[in-house]
Amino acid sequence: MRLEVILPIFIPLIAGTLSVVVWRSTFYQRWIAVLGTAALLASGLWLLSAVRAEGHVVMQMGNWQAPFGITIVADTLSAVMAVLTGLMGLVVAIYSLGSIPASHERFGYYPLMHLLLAGVAGSFLTGDLFNLYVWFEVMLLASFALLTLGGERAQMEGAIKYVTLNLFSSAIFLSSIGLMYGMVGTLNMADIADKLSEVEHTGMVNVLAVMFMVAFGIKAAAFPLFFWLPASYHTPRVAVSALFAGLLTKVGIYALYRMFTLIFNGDVAYTHTILLWSAGFTMVTGVLGAAAQFEFRRILAFHSVSQIGYMILGLALYTPLALIGGLFYVIHHSLVKTCLFLISGLVYRLTGTYELKELGEVYRHRPGIAILFLIAALSLAGIPPLSGFFAKFIIVRAGLEIGAYTLTGIALAVGLLTLFSMIKIWAEVFWKAAPEGMDMERLKAPVNDSHGRFMLTGIGILIAGILLLGFWGQPVIELFEVMAEQLMNPEGYIEAVLGGEQ
């Protein structure tokens, strides 16, 4: 019985239910929020150390052996993502203590947050296809509920588009699971990987691959399926946006990585070519869309789409170095994008608006916040020695190594445009003179009260993470090398789950 692999799912589930039970008292809910997410992070780290020691950690639910029962399995990829979940959860929880208004807290913000984290952790750790669907549903509903908290009109519009497109994705996903079961007769991912090679008609397998790609692509916000993201990310409270940016799309990316390295690795020329094209288009549309925006959060939302393209590119190139690059990008992007959203929330608190045209001169009065923004923004743009540089560097290098010159060129050009976009925000928000009507008193007001301190703590943790990742990348890359090797050679995974019966 391996406790460490089930705890990351269990802890947020229990925390969420407990929060429902103590609904009336926001005081206890806040405590549960911080303690729960801290415990989640701790369990993730425990899992990671176990995986480093053993390679794979497996647990069978209900003591039914694979492939009949549900397997919960962690390899390096899953463990790293679990740690990421914990970290993001903790940071956003701390930030929320300072930024979520009391009305939202009374309406169930914390239980929903915990349940969202449970869904995310479940998606990362499950080894069963239908169970993955279940956790996707948990995530979908929890995120939908968080989106509508507050009830403003813009939120409703965004939420409707979000939920419709994601339900559509669930429908496609479910159909694909059904067809998959019809083809191989099992739902366990390792078993599917094993049996899929015996199916003769690659045409059918490829269609299934495409359907899964679409279903996960919608979740991951790939081109041309990403429209729910810019429609909804900028509408809820910043803490919610930050949580989404850091985790939701990463689940889709994780699912793509898992599917297309473990299961659909037969006809690589077909599947991964489509992924290559998708990556290129995603990168370009995202950054072009961002160039046309003048609202802080919308720019960040479009940039999320663009950065997703890089992660898909890592998968599409399908070499160990590329996989390392893609995963490094996932970690880096979660840290940076969440941090940028949180900073935008801080700016909102100081100025009352997200529109670039109505902002200015924040650098003069708040140089500290300006520096924090600069670190995160430059990391996103890929300036060394911050984390973004290494992420882009690894992917570009992987691309050059196998001769994918077009895509590498696109990746570099998009990097330049990202830089340009970040500089635009910097110049508009922090440098230029304050436009008329801007409330300077509010800008100069102190941020040292308890709310402000929570917000700054959350941001501070992330900045520390970004700097660490940039300067101390070596141990992380070593870990990722193990991960890439595991992904490129899925026999280890299959054997760990199925127990060497075959």
Partner 1 sequence: MQLALIILVPLLGAFAPALRRRDPVWRLALFAGLPALLSFSLLLSLLPQVLAGEVLVYQWDWISQLGLSFALRLDGLGWLFATLITGMGTLIIAYARYYFEGKATSGRFYSLILLFMFAMLGIVLSENLLFMLVFWELTSLVSFLLIGFNWHSQGARRGARMSLVITGGGGLLLLAGLLLLGQMAGSYQLSEVLLAGERIKADPRYPVMLSLVLLGAFTKSAQFPFHLWLPHAMSAPTPVSAYLHSATMVKAGLFLMARLHPAIADTELWFNLVVPTGMLTLMVGAFVAMFMHDIKGLLAYSTISHLGLIALLLGLGTPLAVSAALFHLVCHALFKAPLFMMAGMVDQATGSRDMQRINGLWRYMPVLMVLTAVPAAAMAGLPLMSGYLSKKMLFVESLQVSYPFWTTVVPVWVTLAGLFSVAYSIRIFHNVFYNGRPLDLPIYPPRQPSRRAMAPLALLTLGCLVVGFAPALVYDKVVAMAVNAASGTLVPAYDFSALSVARWPMIMSIIAMIGGALFYLARNPLFAIHSRLPEVDAKNIFEWIVDRAIAYSQRRVYQLENGSLQRYLALILVTTVGLGGWALLRFDQWQGPIALSPVDAMSVFGASVICLAALGVVVFHHARLPALLALGVCGLFVTLAFARFSAPDLALTQLSVEVMAVVIMMLALSFLPQRSPHESSLPRWTRDLTVAGIAGIGVGGLAYAVLTRPVDSISDFFLANAVPGGGGTNVVNVILVDFRGFDTLGEITVLGIAAVAVYAFTRDLHLKERVAQIADEHWVADPHPVILSMVARLVLPIALLVSAYIFLRGHNMPGGGFIAGLITAAALTLQYMAGGLVWAQERMLTQFRPLIGGGILLAGVTGMGAWVFGYPFLTSTFGYFSLPLVGKFELASALLFDLGVYATVVGSTLLILANLGKLMTVAGPGKEIG
Please give the residues from 92 up to 121 whose contact with partner 1 meets the rule CB under 8 A. 107-108, 111-112, 115, 118
Q: Which of 38, 45, 174, 291 binds partner 1 (CB under 8 A)?
A: 291
211 contacts partner 1 (rule: CB under 8 A): yes
| Contact criterion met (CB below 8 Å) for 172 and 219 | no
Q: Which of residues 429-448 bind partner 1 (CB under 8 A)?
A: 431-433
What is the distance between the alpha carbons of residues 446 and 427, in angstroms, rounded to a whole number? 23
Q: Which of 54, 152, 449, 478 binds partner 1 (CB under 8 A)?
A: 478
73 contacts partner 1 (rule: CB under 8 A): no
Q: If DSSP codes are grouped into helix, strand and coil, which group holds residue 436? A: coil
482 contacts partner 1 (rule: CB under 8 A): no
Which spans in 26-149 are helix H? 26-54, 76-99, 102-106, 109-125, 129-148
Q: How far is the CB of 163 from partner 1 (least distance, A)?
A: 10
Structure tokens at 316: 């599409």
Q: How far is the CB of 116 from partner 1 (least distance, A)?
A: 9
The 10 Å CB-count burial string (b at 16+, else e) for 321-358 is bbbbbbbbbbbbbbbbbbbbbbbbbbbbbbbebbebeb
Residue 235: half-sphere exposure toward Cβ, Cα within 13 Å: 25
Which spans in 234-319 are helix H? 238-243, 249-258, 268-291, 296-317
161 contacts partner 1 (rule: CB under 8 A): yes
Span from 174-182, 243-251, 252-260, 489-497 in contact with partner 1 (CB under 8 A) = 174-182
Q: How far is the CB of 145 from partner 1 (least distance, A)?
A: 3
Bridge partners, residue 73, by sequence:
58
Q: Say if strands 71-74 and 57-60 run parallel, antiparallel, or are unpaired.
A: antiparallel
Residue 450 or 472 having the CB closest to partner 1: 472
Residue 17 or 25 having the CB closest to partner 1: 17
Q: How far is the CB of 45 from partner 1 (least distance, A)?
A: 21
8 contacts partner 1 (rule: CB under 8 A): no
Residue 59 or 455 having the CB closest to partner 1: 59
Residue 239 identity (one-letter amino acid): A
Q: Which of 49, 52, 64, 440 binds partner 1 (CB under 8 A)?
A: 64
Span from 46-54, 156-164, 243-251, 439-447 in contact with partner 1 (CB under 8 A) = 156-164
| Contact criterion met (CB below 8 Å) for 422 and 344 | no
27 contacts partner 1 (rule: CB under 8 A): no
292 contacts partner 1 (rule: CB under 8 A): yes
Bridge partners, residue 355, by sequence:
295
319 contacts: CB under 8 Å, gap ≥ 6: 398, 401, 402
Binding-residue total with partner 1 (CB under 8 A): 115
Residue 39: half-sphere exposure toward Cβ, Cα within 13 Å: 19
Q: Which of residues 231-250 bind partner 1 (CB under 8 A)?
A: 231
Residue 162 or 354 having the CB closest to partner 1: 162
